[in-house]
Amino acid sequence: MSGTLELRGLTRVHAAGQPPALAGFTLDVPAGSCVAVLGPSGSGKSTVLRLTAGLDSPDGGSVLLDGRDLAGVPPERRGMAMVFQRPLLFPHLSVRDNVAFADRVRGVPRRQARERAEHHLELVALRGYGDRPARALSGGQEQRVALARALAAEPRVLLLDEPFSALDTTLREEMHDLLADLRVRLDPTVLLVTHDPAEADALADTVAVLDGGRLQQAGPMRELYAAPASLAVSRLLGGRTEVPGTVRDGVHSSVLGALAVPRPVPDGPGVLVVRPEAVRVTSPADPAADATGTVVRVRRRGLRALVAVEVPGPGGASVEAELATGEELPAGRTVGLVLPVADRAVVPPVDGTPSDAARSPISHG
Amino acid sequence: MSTRQRAVLLVLPALVPVAAVVGAALVSAVLLSLGLTPLVGQPELSLDAWRAAAGDLGTATRLSLGIAAAATVLAAGVGLCLALAATAVVRRSRLLGALAALTIPVPHLVGAAAIGLLLADSGFLPRLLGVAPGDWPSLVGGQWWVAVVAEYAWKESAFVALVVGSVLASRARSYDETAALLGAGRWARFRYVTLPLAAPALGVASAVTFVYTLGSYEVAALLGRPYPEPLPVMAVRLAGSIDLAVRPQAAAVAVTTAVLALAAVLLALRALRRLSAWD
């Protein structure tokens, strides 16, 4: 049932004279896998899905399903189903007939289609809801029905366009569990679009980070966390520590001092990034400390606290660190910082200073 | 004060004038038709006026219903097509929508005159096609009321397109895409998605068109034949007659028209309650 999807150099220009919404996007979605396209609003991630589904046609590149080029194939013949951010259940049909829709338009007899619909409603834990009108459901239930309706179409590729972002945290986690369960039972090929790194982490085998219409990096989420390829990726994944400096012979020199880099990096200017959960805060006298600085800001994050430590020097540097559970540090305290070698990463600097917009790349909408 | 009472109070300023004008007109027409408010003589309850009008009333009723039904079916069909075309993504069809909307402010009387000039046996169309007046079918004033139906259908199709188009424009596209991704081809999407979504609006617009056409006078008077007459033409002729004694008959015809229109509205509302699957 599940197919292999290949996107090759997809390019889409919405209006002449404007920068492309998507430029040369290439991605492999192996059969039975779940690949997430992660990006901020306006990064072109929904465009990826629309081009894949055939709702828009690309200005360049191609979409291949099981090796067959889908150029010119209308959406209804592509064997894909999509779940949008809004459930878009047909308001004139009951829940059961919504789920039976794909079978009905395929010419399956009504009774058989409805039986199959019941089966799919059971898959999303909505047994017994079939007779309700589509309007009489809560937001989470609506999205479950939308998912059941898409699965009932037996798509070769299931496309998910931020399907859970309108739900509250608890419901969203329930839906994540449901999707994980469905993946085990049905083994579908899933292409998911999201702006939420946690969602991508929870659901996807591979994540492709998209920014400004361009693929920044693709790989397993751990790899993106450990070794982001660019400042944009680091920021999108919640990285806040950025220390400019110079790399020579595998050593990054900055106000933090000379720090060895675990992976080979070309010589020249480079920005050291390190995730807050990797940084260890210790006493300034600790011989293991890579740098010392002053706590300038403390932010609560559940049982843990996130502290910003200002390291003095030319230009200065701010390093964010997550404290252990229950640990407290007041602002103004001088502390030592340990940056474990394996968690250091150096990315190329961007031209000019980062703008505010670039610093807060995750927006909700 | 309960919410319900407050709601009633808020509606009153709109309700009172409507009830007063329509109610007073209907009541006085009923009284007049029953001989209770004669222009001369003693008031006396009688069905004389109804009996006198009865002969032509049946023919006029059938004719009026026929014209209204034909015009409504045509307007609904053409209007739906216009709405579909105007909400399609092609820019040219947006121009089509704008052209259709331009029809709305044209008064029916002007429209009737234009249709008359176009379709009459000596009109623009036969000249353009090079058909001699004798060979041209009598569309204006003919047996089948073609020009009358055409005028109503043309004018009201723009109204239908406007109402249906506004509903489709806001919702149809995302549902259409969803249906396409579930494997529905063009026809299946129209049959199972677009049409059901448009149905409530189409139903309302058709009901309004039907009732309007049923009660409207000027187009049938201008483009129709002298006999038989549709209800409104008959009512106006009787009411304007120099024979004041036929006034009650005019009232009887007017009351018949109003009752038919009311029945049509009630039927339409009942059907719509079943149709309107959404808010």
Domain ranges for chain A, please list them.
Answer: 5-219, 240-359
Confidence of residue A352 (pLDDT cuts 50, 70, 90): very low
State the CATH number of the domain containing residue B155.
1.10.3720.10
Q: Looking at chain A, which residue has its C-alpha nearest residue B177?
A: A55
Q: Flag the least confident range among A50-59, A224-233, A281-290, B81-90.
A: B81-90
Do B19 and B94 fall within a single domain? no
Mutant choice from B173, B177, B178 vs A, greatest count of A C-beta within 10 A: B178
Q: Looking at chain A, which residue has its C-alpha nearest residue B186?
A: A76
Q: State yes or no: pLDDT of B94 exceeds 70.
A: no
SS3 B276: coil
Confidence of residue A351 (pLDDT cuts 50, 70, 90): low
Confidence of residue B50 (pLDDT cuts 50, 70, 90): very high
Do B7 and B59 fall within a single domain? no
**Amino acid identity of B53?**
A
Residue B41, domain member (yes or no): no
Q: CB B174 to CB A90 under 8 A? A: no
Do B24 and B146 fall within a single domain? no
Q: CB A135 to CB B279 under 8 A? A: yes
Do B63 and B3 fall within a single domain? no
Q: State yes or no: pLDDT of A358 exceeds 60.
A: no
Instruction: Name every chain B residue with its beta carbon within 8 A of the beta carbon of A149.
Output: 182
Instruction: Name every chain B residue with its beta carbon within 8 A of the beta carbon of A93.
Output: 277
Sign of the C-alpha dihedral computed for residues B211, B215, B219 and B221 taken in this order: positive
Confidence of residue A361 (pLDDT cuts 50, 70, 90): very low
Which of the two residues, A165 and B171, has the higher pLDDT score? A165
Rg of chain A (C-alpha set) = 24
Cα separations (Å) of B251 from A251, B71, B210, B245?
A: 103, 26, 21, 11
Do B26 and B51 fall within a single domain? no
Give the rounded percent of residues in chain A with a pLDDT score beyond 90.
Answer: 68
Of B182, B185, B278, the CB nearest to A101: B182
Q: How far is B226 from chain A (nearest CA, A)?
A: 47
Sign of the C-alpha dihedral computed for residues B100, B106, B107 and B112 taken in this order: negative
Does A159 lie at the interface with B, CB-CB under 8 angstroms? yes
Q: Which domain holds residue B223?
A: 47-275
The C-alpha atoms of residue B219 and residue B216 are separated, in whole angstroms, by 7
Which of the two residues, B276 and A62, has the higher pLDDT score? A62
Do B59 and B124 fall within a single domain? yes
Report the topology of domain A5-219.
Rossmann fold (3.40.50)
| pLDDT at res. B275 | 72
Q: How far is B180 from chain A (nearest CA, A)?
A: 5
Q: CB A80 to CB B181 under 8 A? A: yes
Q: CB B182 to CB A105 under 8 A? A: yes
Does A301 lie at the interface with B, CB-CB under 8 angstroms? no
Q: CB A55 to CB B180 under 8 A? A: yes
Mutant choice from A51, A92, A93 vs B, greatest count of B C-beta within 10 A: A92
Do B136 and B12 fall within a single domain? no
Does A92 lie at the interface with B, CB-CB under 8 angstroms? yes
The C-alpha atoms of residue A212 and residue A42 are separated, in whole angstroms, by 7
Does the domain spanning A240-359 belong to CATH 2.40.30.170? no
Q: State yes or no: pLDDT of B278 exceeds 70.
A: no
Do B4 and B78 fall within a single domain? no
User: How many CB pairs lie under 8 A apart between chains A and B?
Assistant: 69
B77 with B66: CB under 8 angstroms? no
> Phi and psi (nearest 5°) for A305?
-120, 145
Q: Looking at chain A, which residue has its C-alpha nearest residue B180?
A: A76
Residue B61, domain member (yes or no): yes
Q: Looking at chain A, which residue has its C-alpha nearest residue B197?
A: A92
Q: CB B180 to CB A80 under 8 A? A: no
Does A317 lie at the interface with B, CB-CB under 8 angstroms? no
Name the domain count of chain B: 2
Q: State yes or no: pLDDT of A155 exceeds 80.
A: yes
Residue B2, domain member (yes or no): yes
Q: State yes or no: pLDDT of A353 exceeds 60.
A: no
Q: State yes or no: pLDDT of B183 exceeds 50.
A: yes
Do B13 and B117 fall within a single domain? no
Q: State yes or no: pLDDT of B90 exceeds 60.
A: no
Q: Flag the least confident range among A7-11, B87-91, B188-192.
A: B87-91
A99 with A149: CB under 8 angstroms? yes
Q: CA angle, A319 as apex, A317 and A322 as ends, to 5°?
A: 170
Q: State yes or no: pLDDT of A239 exceeds 90.
A: no
| pLDDT at res. A112 | 94
Do B19 and B132 fall within a single domain? no
Instruction: Name every chain A residue with its beta carbon within 8 A of the beta carbon of B170.
Output: none
The C-alpha atoms of residue A98 and residue A173 are separated, in whole angstroms, by 24
The C-alpha atoms of residue A202 and residue B233 are separated, in whole angstroms, by 74
The C-alpha atoms of residue B274 and residue B279 are separated, in whole angstroms, by 12
Do B111 and B167 fall within a single domain? yes
**Amino acid identity of A190?**
V
| pLDDT at res. A301 | 81
Q: How far is B101 from chain A (nearest CA, A)?
A: 28
Summary mean pLDDT of chain A: 89
Q: How buried is residue B40: exposed, middle or buried, by Cβ count under 10 Å (0-12/13-18/19+)?
A: exposed
Cα separations (Å) of A159 from A45, A190, B46, B154, B200?
A: 12, 6, 75, 44, 32
The C-alpha atoms of residue A71 and residue A10 are separated, in whole angstroms, by 12
Which of the two residues, B96 and A333, has the higher pLDDT score? A333
